[in-house]
Amino acid sequence: MATSPQSRSFWRSIVVAVLTIGLLWLFFRNVDPHQAWADIRSADPALLAAAVGITFVTYTLRAIRWQAILRPLGRARLRTTFRTTVIGFTASYLLPARVGEVLKPYLLARQEGFKAPATFATVVIERVLDLVAVLVLFAGSLPFLTIDVDSKIKASGAIAAAGAVAGLIVLFFCAGHPERFGRLMAALTRVLPARIASATGRLAHVFAEGLAVLRRPSDLAIVLAWSIPLWVSIACGIWVTSRAFDLTIPFAGTFLVVMYLVVGVSVPTQGGAGGFHYMYQLAVTNHFGASNDKAVAIALVLYFVSAIPVTLLGLFFMHQDGLSLGNLKNLRPTAEAAEMT
């Protein structure tokens, strides 16, 4: 018997809550709260302010890269890509089920007049580019690390790199042959009622059209090029925040921390909470000699620096656009329906 959307939402919320509580328990289990608070109070405020500034640079780079990905579909204004990116992340921090990943392309498509499925497809490209950039930077940093890296971590990075390359190949095929891809999807759905199979084929065709940037090597090179400074900016924010607590991490080592954090935020907790904190703690205690209390203090402040400024800016943009968290939550079904039309 099929479960209702309400039932699925309920059980998803339970799973998210259990994961979040479990990871936060692991994070806090051996901490001395007085020492952690003392470490937070001793942090360099000038460096923390610089880290906040770097956070806004990171979101600007995200908006520029998304604008480049969208270019084959039409001309999107940087103002729109920046605002919708910030609102999307705000929604993901404050609302369940990472709803911002659905709302971000929907809001932009509505404002810029793009086809919704094609715009949704560009978010897939963003995720693949992020993975490729992280792996490239991590692999490039290994010769400059002054610490030993476990062979299992190196092997995991190689496997993930192979997966990222495979994903790019699949996306390149889909983008280069949208009609063929649409016919393939239609053939695979022949067991479905004719109306649904036809709609699926049309959706697959439009979705593949959204991957148009991969058909032009020059455009692909541009978006790949923007992905590198984007993740260097993220690494800078981590490095500067860690330095604010007198934790010395070689800049090359920051990309190892980034790898840990990518794993942490992939766990489906609310706003990445728990996974982000615990994986930063593991990275700096295992590889860079941080005490557990200092690692907890830095992780808490790093999450604050990464999430709070953009959330406040997103709430401001929402207020300007006449939106609220309730509006965004109610928009999700409409956004998901638009993805299918």
Ramachandran angles phi, psi of 283, nearest 5°? -60, -50
**More confident of the two residues 282 and 156:** 282
Query: Considering only 14-28, 141-155, 221-235, which range has the smallest mean pLDDT?
Result: 141-155
Nearest to 84 by CA among 70, 68, 61, 63: 63
Query: Residue 97: is its pLDDT beyond 80?
Result: no
Q: Which residue type is seen at 16?
A: V
Q: pLDDT over 70 for what percent of the chain?
A: 90
- Cβ atoms of 91 and 324 closer than 8 Å: no
CA pair distance 254, 285, nearest whole angstrom = 13
CA pair distance 327, 335, nearest whole angstrom = 12
In this prediction, residue 308 carries a pLDDT of: 95
CA pair distance 179, 185, nearest whole angstrom = 10
CA pair distance 1, 215, nearest whole angstrom = 43
pLDDT grade for 4, boundaries at 50, 70 and 90: low
In this prediction, residue 338 carries a pLDDT of: 66
CA pair distance 146, 159, nearest whole angstrom = 23
Which residues does 19 contact at the CB level (< 8 Å), separation at least 6? 267, 268, 269, 274, 275
**More confident of the two residues 179 and 88:** 88
Q: What separation in angstroms does the CA of 177 have from each of 122, 125, 215, 290, 297?
A: 16, 16, 9, 51, 50
Query: Residue 228: is its pLDDT beyond 80?
Result: yes
Q: Which residue type is seen at 177?
A: H
- pLDDT tens digit string along 159-215? 777 777 777 777 777 777 776 776 777 777 777 777 777 767 666 766 676 777 777
User: Over the chain, what is the mean pLDDT?
Assistant: 86
Query: Considering only 124-133, 182-191, 215-224, which range has the smallest mean pLDDT?
Result: 182-191
CA pair distance 104, 92, nearest whole angstrom = 10
Q: What is the pTM of this model?
A: 0.88
Query: Residue 235: is its pLDDT beyond 50?
Result: yes
In this prediction, residue 1 carries a pLDDT of: 45
Instruction: Work out the angle at residue 312's Cα, subtended by the Cα atoms of residues 310 and 317, and round it to the nearest 5 degrees.
Output: 90
Instruction: Work out the angle at residue 174's Cα, subtended by the Cα atoms of residues 171 and 177, and round it to the nearest 5 degrees.
Output: 145
The predicted model gives 25-52 an average pLDDT of 96
In this prediction, residue 10 carries a pLDDT of: 72
Q: pLDDT over 90 for what percent of the chain?
A: 50
Query: Residue 262: is its pLDDT beyond 90?
Result: yes
- Cβ atoms of 319 and 89 closer than 8 Å: no
Q: Which residue type is seen at 189?
A: T
In this prediction, residue 7 carries a pLDDT of: 65
Long-range contacts, stretch 97-105, CB < 8 angstroms, 24+ apart = 97/9, 97/12, 97/16, 97/268, 98/268, 99/328, 99/329, 99/332, 102/332, 102/335, 102/336, 102/339, 103/328, 103/331, 103/332, 103/335
Instruction: Work out the angle at residue 124's Cα, subtended by the Cα atoms of residues 75 and 205, and round it to the nearest 5 degrees.
Output: 75
- Cβ atoms of 295 and 285 closer than 8 Å: yes
CA pair distance 208, 179, nearest whole angstrom = 8
- pLDDT tens digit string along 269-297? 888 999 999 999 999 999 999 999 999 99
Query: Residue 126: is its pLDDT beyond 80?
Result: yes
Query: Considering only 38-42, 65-69, 202-206, which range has the smallest mean pLDDT?
Result: 202-206
